[in-house]
Amino acid sequence: MNPKKTADATPEEIQPKIMTKPLPVILDELEDYIKRVEEAVRLAQAAARDSREAAAQAKEAGEKAADAARKAAEAAVAKVRDDAARADEALNNRISEVAEEMSEQLDGLTDKVKQEVIALDEAFLALKDKHIEQSPFFQS
């Protein structure tokens, strides 16, 4: 408080309310205040109850969403596994086909190589015979 105001103030101005208001008015104000506090408490309790209900509903909705997401993920994983198994089977089939084709080609190539080797052997033998016939060192 400002000291000048206290010195200038009248005794009625610095007296507590209890001294300036009649007791029934103070009690009425106090009763109104208590009623307002009780109403505020009741409203706060109702809000807390509503909040608990909303939280329970949100929890239930979250659990349902999590369950649905889990099921969707399991279905997606199962589909990917099936697709991968089909792709693996198709790849193995193609590898088997290519291996068979290569085996057949290898067999044919082996036969051709044998024929070429025999022809080279025959050519070398003919060349050897011709060399012996024409060489002055091999004449008997």
Token code pair at residue 49: 């109850």
Q: Which amino acid is at 66?
A: A
* Structural domain count of the chain: 1
- 138 close to 132: Cβ distance less than 8 angstroms: yes
Give the pLDDT of residue 133: 85
- For residue 83, the enclosing domain spans 14-104
Q: Model pTM? A: 0.45
75: in domain: yes
125: in domain: no
41: in domain: yes
Is 70 exceeded by the pLDDT of residue 132? yes
35: in domain: yes
138: in domain: no
60: in domain: yes
Give the pLDDT of residue 129: 87
Give the pLDDT of residue 1: 46
Is 70 exceeded by the pLDDT of residue 35? yes
Is 50 exceeded by the pLDDT of residue 60? yes
- 18 close to 26: Cβ distance less than 8 angstroms: yes
Token code pair at residue 1: 């408080």
Centroid of chain to Cα 116? 63
126: in domain: no
User: pLDDT confidence of 58, banded at 50, 70, 90?
Assistant: very high
Dihedral sign for Cα 39, 40, 42, 46, please.
positive
7: in domain: no
**Which of these ranges, 41-50, 56-65, 101-110, has the smallest mean pLDDT?**
101-110
Taking only the tens place, the pLDDT of each residue in 78-94 is 999 999 999 999 999 99
Cα 39 from Cα 43, distance rounded (Å): 6
